Structure 1
Amino acid sequence: MEGYETNLINAHAGGRNVVYNCEKEGASAKILRIAFLNDRSRDDLLGEVEYIQYLFEHGGSVSNVISSRKGNLLEEITHNNHTFFVCLFEKARGKMLVENHYQYREGVPITEYYYNCGKVLGKLHQLSKGYAAVHRRYSFFDKYNVEYIDNLIPGTLPLVKEKMVELLKTLEGLDRNRESFGMVHFDYNDGNYSIDFDTGQITVYDFDNSCYCWYMFDLAGLWTHGVGWIQFEPDAGKRKKFMDNYFETVLEGYKSETRIENSILDKLPLFIQVTVMEGIVDAFEVMRNNGEEPECDEELSYLIKCLEDDIPYKGFFHEVFSCEEPFECEERNI
């Protein structure tokens, strides 16, 4: 990295790494990532970077990991009895949608973006179906299980725990065959990919949460992030029509790269509930990792209400939703 100018990238809420942007004239920009929390082992991180390298080498549109001078994808440094894991990535071409003020390519319909989101994800899932891990990442149920939820979620939220356990039981009954279950990104959204605004090409990164799960989870995540385009529309019927058209375009892109059975697509409402559960779990993990007392803000209270009251589609077509304050409701005490 000699000659590179290195600048710290501001961490987002709940960020788990220290990340630097590295630039040098005449060379492609790099991203340096340092993992410092003790919640991930060397094998966990190797499982992530080996998967990224596999995707890249087989044509997946991802930011590739770069080997160190010793030929390692991951370097381990111990300082003052603390272990740091360091890896380097090619910086993705283009920029995030938010950096472009949520404006897509000039003169190009936004449907191209929806289609490409599905297409890029479909390619990653198709590659995952043939992936044989050296260092295996954890599986969904290794983290999302009754014991973990019971320890993480405060005892003052017994109905939330009950609903999560019901959800897990339903998931345990689903098929886990090669066509429906494998390595997924688990956080596929516009904060974790860049767009080349000259071509529309999407490059994916941040596989920090990648694990073995149903491919449908990533698709449900794409559905939930699509609501941002129409969330200020007061008419629920118009929101529904938009989301149907949006997701149909996403699926066209997705199916251009991989197969998916209608029987699993029919489980979209179930997996949207799983994304709601994941959002609640993530919120409490961030509070725990930051040493904060558990509390429910408006956004977390909204997710909890959707889960407790069995409100489908993240409440987007339900009276609980307000277009003035999207995905928020009155704070609740814990």
Structure 2
Amino acid sequence: MLTLKHLFQNNDLAEMILKNWSYDPESLDMFQYYRISSNAVYPFRDQGEVRLLRFAPVEEKNQINLSAELEFLRYLRTNYYGAMEVVPSHSGTELVETRTPWGTYYASVFKRVPGSQLGSIQLNDSILYSYGQALGELHQLSRIFKPEQEEKRRWTYTDVLDWMQKILEDFPAETAALNEVELLRTYFAAWPINKQNFGLIHYDFEPDNVFYDEKKQSCYAIDFDDSMYHWYAMDVEQSLDSLREEIEPEQWEQKKQLFLNGYWSETGERYDLESMFPACRRFANLYGYLRMLRSVAEQWSHEPEWMSGLRARLSRKMTEQAEQFGKVVNS
């Protein structure tokens, strides 16, 4: 997530950045439905069609990763996968770097995907199966994806571990987190990597980032901002972990199997994914912990009430995520 100082609504900033694209001026009242987490996202309309402006400060993002994300989205759509479509700016570029009085920002605009967020609808058996299919199809397409320039591809899980270690240089008291970085680095180094089990993953394929179009009975994925090269098991574990919150405990095993059956229907030969889940969960917890640690590091006098409340919630979440640091990884 972005550092807390960037979590404030700023309609003037959004409008200034949006001038790089076409838009309906009367639609700017839709800015009230903004959201900010890893990026700021402001909805608007262009010729009556809903669009989403996404931007973040350049110091918070990696330009190569952003460009690689947009390349992967073009590839997915070329292969008829249900993913969000990028809208070129006036200059024809999909990623704009723009200077403002509030700093320099990277920005892109996307068309809204059809359907409803899975997290907002009743997940019947057909939708759960389709959800698994969508992830399986994504991984199958990832297996044959080749970036146009190898040196400009998305980062890998080892790059993420390096980033974590770099962040921890500013937090010398976080010895448990640093030990967890090294533990996972060593643990993953022993895992086999092949075309079947490793590739470019979404990383955040949770119900809120997947939409279901009832008319077409298919899913559409958004928010590839966290994608990285990792074992495909990481995506499956993350999806199931988020899905568990939507399912009654007594129905969990049956619903989980529906999702997995949909997944395997698109990926071909099955292999042992579930033995990889515990280490994947440890990676996700550590990554989330470091992102929150970085986000809340700076503090100010007289912070607004919402910020104090957010700090408290993030602190509780970080405590949960740190519980396993340093322990033996179960498999």
Counterpart-to-counterpart distance in 2, 1:52 and 1:185: 11
Q: 1:276 to 1:132 in 2, by over 3 A?
A: same
Q: CA deviation at 1:117?
A: 1.5
Match of 1:321 in 2: none
Q: TM-score, normalised by structure 2?
A: 0.77
2:106 is the alignment partner of 1:85: yes
2:256 is the alignment partner of 1:250: no
Counterpart-to-counterpart distance in 1, 2:197 and 2:57: 33
* Candidates 128, 134, 150, aligned match of 1:114: 128
Counterpart-to-counterpart distance in 1, 2:107 and 2:45: 17
Counterpart-to-counterpart distance in 1, 2:298 and 2:200: 26
Match of 1:301 in 2: 319
Q: Give the helix-richer structure, 1 or 2.
A: 2
Counterpart-to-counterpart distance in 2, 1:46 and 1:258: 27
* Candidates 187, 201, 211, aligned match of 2:204: 187
* Candidates 49, 60, 75, aligned match of 1:28: 49
Tell me if structure 1 keeps the 8 A contact 2:127–2:212: no
Counterpart-to-counterpart distance in 1, 2:268 and 2:298: 39
Q: 1:290 to 1:132 in 2, by over 3 A?
A: farther
What code does the residue aligned with 2:178 have?
K
What code does the residue aligned with 1:285 have?
R
Of the structure 1 ranges 38-47 and 194-203, higher mean CA displacement relative to structure 2 is found in 194-203
What code does the residue aligned with 1:283 have?
M
- Kindly report which structure 2 residues correspond to 1:127-166, keeping only aligned pairs within 5 A, or say none: 127-134=141-148, 135-145=152-162, 147-148=165-166, 150-151=168-169, 154-166=171-183
Counterpart-to-counterpart distance in 2, 1:155 and 1:262: 40
Counterpart-to-counterpart distance in 2, 1:103 and 1:87: 31
Counterpart-to-counterpart distance in 2, 1:10 and 1:2: 16
* Candidates 236, 240, 247, aligned match of 1:223: 240
What code does the residue aligned with 2:276 have?
K
Q: TM-score, normalised by structure 1?
A: 0.77
Tell me if structure 1 keeps the 8 A contact 2:139–2:232: yes
Q: CA deviation at 1:209?
A: 0.9
Match of 1:96 in 2: 117
Tell me if structure 2 keeps the 8 A contact 1:149–1:161: no
Q: CA deviation at 1:81?
A: 9.0
Counterpart-to-counterpart distance in 2, 1:35 and 1:179: 34
Alignment deviations for residues 60-99 of structure 1 (CA, whole Å, 9 cap, x no partner): 110111223433222222335943222111101123244x
Tell me if structure 1 keeps the 8 A contact 2:58–2:106: no
Which consecutive unaligned segments of at least 5 residues does structure 1 have? 105-109, 314-334
Match of 2:138 in 1: 124
* Candidates 273, 286, 295, aligned match of 2:295: 286
* Candidates 265, 268, 275, aligned match of 1:266: 275
What code does the residue aligned with 2:265 have?
S
How many residue pairs were aligned?
Answer: 294
Counterpart-to-counterpart distance in 2, 1:176 and 1:11: 37
What code does the residue aligned with 2:122 have?
Q
- Helix, strand or coil at the partner of 1:182: strand
Task: After the TM superposition, list the runs of 4 or more consecutive aligned residues in structure 1 that deviate by more than 6 angstroms.
Answer: 289-296
Tell me if structure 1 keeps the 8 A contact 2:206–2:243: no
Counterpart-to-counterpart distance in 2, 1:63 and 1:214: 23
Question: What value does the CA root-mean-square deviation take over the aligned residues?
Answer: 3.0
